[in-house]
């Protein structure tokens, strides 16, 4: 089975490359070269028919992702499907299902059926939860069970998977030697570190990486090489453990490209503003300029309830310096699971960050959109302002409770009425 990177290396232009090049306003040959070099990934599982292929990486606009999913504390599929609707209506590029609640397989299937956006998952979440349910012990999670869940999710049509392959025995040892303020804040990273300590064995995602590549290549599922030791506070940003993991990820990016598998790299995390430029450049160099997917970065640790703002500040600077993909952060970060309203607020904040970075990076379409908005303001042309606004629903404030006439039946006004009025 071929993949986008295999075809690109052969000099072939796929229909997905043509569609993305047209949407991005770049030459299709430019895009093919970037895919062949591994500096752009195309998120589209070859088994999935209803997805809009999305390009992430060098020379393209900055993309944003929104996370949803059930939990052991709150498992309501209907609410998560409502979030899917608002994610699409608000203009998000990608979403991830991070479910750990009841019927994970069924939840994923419903979300895949409900959206045309690329979907990502973290298979370790399902495998780890099921091991705990069955044995009460994460150390008893077998390599066979983990890889079975990975293949099942790829076969279902998941377009990219986060796999924390860089949390190796050596990296965990470095973490223990140095110490940290917040230790490991990545759920997948902490699961694998616990398994390593409980069994004394190597991380199976690293030890059997070639088998993982075989699965990913069969479905053209992009590997998102997770940052299991991302800093969970500003004080830990850029420490030895983080850098040690990044070095491993650089090795794994090369192996994926050589095997014909698309790969991107995940990054921090909590990073003070002054450290962001150097950190982004360091990660890019160590991973040979693989597409970089960042959570935030959050530039301060003292803003619970407003972390969508701290994230947007950091995300703008990170994207300006080379990050390609922003994972949204909601006001509920560090407090609890986000509701539908908070999901929307997180997306809007990330969209502002991505667009601001696109303008600063010289993207012609982004610059022109700002200019047209300015002209419309000068002319008091409210319809044109509405057309170019990131959040068109702000112009519908006089119609609270009614469907938005601009973005359709499911927008902020409808959500306000259904969830929060009264």
Q: Please report which confidence band the pLDDT of residue 421 belongs to, taking 50, 70 and 90 as the band edges.
A: very low
Compute φ and ψ for 56, nearest 5 degrees.
-130, 125
Give the pTM: 0.93
pLDDT at 411: 52
Q: Identify whether the C-beta of residue 194 lies closer than 8 Å to the C-beta of residue 124.
A: no
Tokens of 147: 């890889």
Q: pLDDT (tens digit, 9 = 90+) per residue, 142-151?
A: 999 999 999 9
Tokens of 412: 């902020």
**How many Å apart are CA 289 and CA 223, to the nearest integer?**
15
Cis peptide before 122 (omega within 30 of 0): no
Name the helix (H) or strand (E) containing 15: helix 15-24
Q: pLDDT (tens digit, 9 = 90+) per residue, 295-312?
A: 999 999 999 999 999 999
Domains with residue ranges and CATH for the chain = 43-360 (3.20.20.540), 364-420 (no CATH)
Q: What is the largest CA-CA distance in the chain?
A: 69
Q: pLDDT at residue 84 above 50? A: yes
pLDDT at 382: 86
Strand partners, 64: 326
Q: pLDDT (tens digit, 9 = 90+) per residue, 348-375?
A: 999 999 999 999 999 999 999 999 999 9
Q: pLDDT (tens digit, 9 = 90+) per residue, 1-49?
A: 899 999 999 999 999 999 999 999 999 999 999 999 999 999 999 999 9
Give the residue from 7, 68, 84, 66 showing the smallest Cα distance to 42: 7
Give the residue from 69, 137, 61 showing the smallest Cα distance to 93: 61
SS3 12: coil
Whole-angstrom distance between the N-terminal and C-terminal Cα of the chain?
Answer: 54
**How many Å apart are CA 318 and CA 43, to the nearest integer?**
21
pLDDT at 303: 98
Q: What is the mean pLDDT of residues 314-335?
A: 97
Strand partners, 94: 65
**How many Å apart are CA 374 and CA 50, to the nearest integer?**
37
Please classify residue 136 by burial: count the beta carbons closer than 10 Å to its beta carbon, then call 0-12 exposed, 13-18 middle and 19+ buried.
exposed
Q: pLDDT (tens digit, 9 = 90+) per residue, 244-270?
A: 999 999 999 999 999 999 999 999 999
Q: Identify whether the C-beta of residue 46 lies closer than 8 Å to the C-beta of residue 220.
A: yes
**401 Ramachandran zone, left/alpha/beta (phi>0; psi -120 to 50):** left
Q: Please report which confidence band the pLDDT of residue 396 belongs to, taking 50, 70 and 90 as the band edges.
A: low
**How many Å apart are CA 414 and CA 67, to the nearest integer?**
21
Give the residue from 62, 114, 113, 120 showing the smallest Cα distance to 94: 120
């Amino acid at each position: 089975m071929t993949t986008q990177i295999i075809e690109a290396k052969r000099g072939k232009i796929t229909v997905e490359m043509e569609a993305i090049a047209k949407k991005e306003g770049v030459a299709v040959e430019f895009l093919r070269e970037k895919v062949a070099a591994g500096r752009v990934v195309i998120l589209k599982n070859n088994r999935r028919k209803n997805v809009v292929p999305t390009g992430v990486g060098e020379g393209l606009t900055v993309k944003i992702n929104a996370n949803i999913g059930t939990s052991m504390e709150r498992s309501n599929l209907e609410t998560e499907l409502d979030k899917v609707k608002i994610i699409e209506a608000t203009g998000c590029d990608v979403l991830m299902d991070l479910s750990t609640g009841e019927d994970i397989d069924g939840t994923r299937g419903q979300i895949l059926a409900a959206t045309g956006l690329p979907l990502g998952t973290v298979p370790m979440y399902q495998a780890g939860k099921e091991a705990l349910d069955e044995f009460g012990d994460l150390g008893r999670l077998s390599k066979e069970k983990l890889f079975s869940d990975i293949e099942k999710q790829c076969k279902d049509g998941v377009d990219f998977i986060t796999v924390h392959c860089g949390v190796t025995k050596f990296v965990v040892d470095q973490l223990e030697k140095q110490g940290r303020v917040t230790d490991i804040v990545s759920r997948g990273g902490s699961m694998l570190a616990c398994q390593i300590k409980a069994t004394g064995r190597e991380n199976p995602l690293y030890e059997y990486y070639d088998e993982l590549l075989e699965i990913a290549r069969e479905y053209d599922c992009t590997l998102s090489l997770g940052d299991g030791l991302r800093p969970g506070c500003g004080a830990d940003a850029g420490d030895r453990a983080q850098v040690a993991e990044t070095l491993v990820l650089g090795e794994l990016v090369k192996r994926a490209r050589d095997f014909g598998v698309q790969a991107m790299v995940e990054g921090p995390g909590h990073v003070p503003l002054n450290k962001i430029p150097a950190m982004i450049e360091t990660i890019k160099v160590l991973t040979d300029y693989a597409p970089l997917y960042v959570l935030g970065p959050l530039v301060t640790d003292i803003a619970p309830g407003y972390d969508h703002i701290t994230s947007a500040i950091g995300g703008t600077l990170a994207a300006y310096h080379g990050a390609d993909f922003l994972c949204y952060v909601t006001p509920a970060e560090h407090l609890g699971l986000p509701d539908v309203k908070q999901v929307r607020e997180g997306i809007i904040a990330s969209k502002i960050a991505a667009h601001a970075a696109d303008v600063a990076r010289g993207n012609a379409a982004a610059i022109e959109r700002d200019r047209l908005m300015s002209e419309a303001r000068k002319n008091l042309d409210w319809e044109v302002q509405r057309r170019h606004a990131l959040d068109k629903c702000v112009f519908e404030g006089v119609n609270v409770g009614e469907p938005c006439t601009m973005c359709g039946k499911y927008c902020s006004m409808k959500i306000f009425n259904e969830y929060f009025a009264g």
